[in-house]
């Protein structure tokens, strides 16, 4: 089991449903699935600022907020552009708007996922994108299989073609994540670590992509870009980890949590990879 250390709580600005995380240039960039902003925290002082993404004001009432939210579930670093791609889940028709933001917090443009999700709906009974990474010139999107059919998978497509609104060609890698305590595991995020991919998977006792359930546990895993899982280990937390990034300079990973409670702030945790994972990271 991997132990993790709490580094901070997201109180200023307040975030209770952190869903995506990027560490870059001395900053933590965080999105929440029930907010319309990108939060940027100084890595040293933990002081944060808000950059608005969408202008709509979300209702405070829980059910209405859930219905109206854009459900941004992944934050992807675009290395060549030094920008950030905000990815919606697609789990309802209202959750198909993304955006590109600069690392200074400037809004660049809105990105529509309508066409992509329309094509994916022919292959997945329920769409629920929870993570994303860029490898070379390809965008990997991680489908969370927490619906009745348990369809975990990775969608791989050309990043340039997608951002240019060109005709999309993609391939699907079905992924079997297994179970934890008798409950199906499903993706909640992913990040690049060297030549490999680290991913989070949660055992949540719910057969719905819309309704939350009791979290029985979670794991951190490593796979290669072909989708072959190399190792997994449970995480020592009862919270639901939803966002993940890897720091090559510190050789550690960070994750953010979502306890499905609007009154509780999400937290940032730090952890070290198990020593036995190192050979996987340096071999192809």
* Residue 174: partners with Cβ closer than 8 Å, 6 or more residues away: 151, 152, 153
Of residues 268, 193, 271, the one with CA closest to residue 43: 268
Q: Give the tokens for residue 150.
A: 């348990």
Res 282: pLDDT? 62
pTM: 0.94
Q: pLDDT digits over 146-201, tens only?
A: 878 889 999 999 999 999 988 889 999 999 999 999 999 999 999 999 999 999 99
Residue with the two structure tokens 């980890």? 241
What distance in Å separates the CA atoms of residue 283 and residue 224, rounded to the nearest whole number? 10
- Residue 60's contacts (CB-CB under 8 Å, 6 or more residues apart) are none
Give me the sign of the Cα torsion angle 94, 77, 256, 56: negative
Q: What is the DSSP letter of 209?
A: S
Asked if the model's pLDDT at residue 204 lies above 80, the reply is yes
Q: Domains of the chain by range and CATH? A: 4-282 (2.120.10.100)
Q: Return the bridge partners of 67, or none.
A: none
């Amino acid at each position: 089991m991997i132990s993790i250390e709490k580094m901070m709580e997201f109180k200023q600005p307040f975030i209770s449903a952190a869903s995506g995380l990027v560490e870059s240039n001395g900053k933590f960039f965080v999105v929440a699935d029930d907010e319309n902003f990108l939060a940027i925290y100084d890595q040293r002082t933990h002081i944060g600022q808000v950059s608005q993404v969408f202008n709509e004001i979300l209702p405070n009432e829980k059910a209405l907020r859930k219905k109206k939210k854009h459900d941004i579930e992944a934050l992807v670093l675009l290395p060549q552009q030094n920008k950030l791609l905000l990815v919606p889940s697609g789990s309802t028709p209202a959750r198909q708007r993304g955006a590109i933001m600069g690392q200074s917090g400037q809004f660049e443009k809105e990105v529509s996922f309508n066409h992509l999700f329309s094509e994916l709906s022919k292959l997945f009974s329920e769409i629920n994108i929870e993570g994303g990474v860029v490898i070379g010139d390809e965008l990997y999107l991680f489908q969370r299989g927490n619906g009745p059919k348990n369809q975990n998978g990775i969608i791989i497509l050309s990043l340039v073609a997608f951002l240019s609104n060109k005709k999309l060609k993609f391939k699907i890698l079905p992924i079997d994540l297994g179970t934890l305590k008798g409950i199906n595991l499903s993706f909640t995020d992913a990040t690049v670590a060297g030549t490999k991919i680290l991913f989070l998977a949660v055992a949540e006792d719910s057969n719905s992509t819309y309704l939350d359930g009791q979290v029985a546990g979670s794991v951190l895993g490593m796979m290669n870009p072909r989708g072959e899982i190399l190792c997994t280990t449970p995480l020592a937390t009862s919270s639901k980890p939803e966002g993940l990034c890897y720091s090559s300079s510190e050789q550690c990973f960070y994750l953010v949590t979502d306890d499905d409670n609007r009154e509780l702030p999400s937290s940032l945790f730090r952890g070290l990879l198990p020593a036995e994972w190192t050979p996987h990271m340096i071999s192809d």
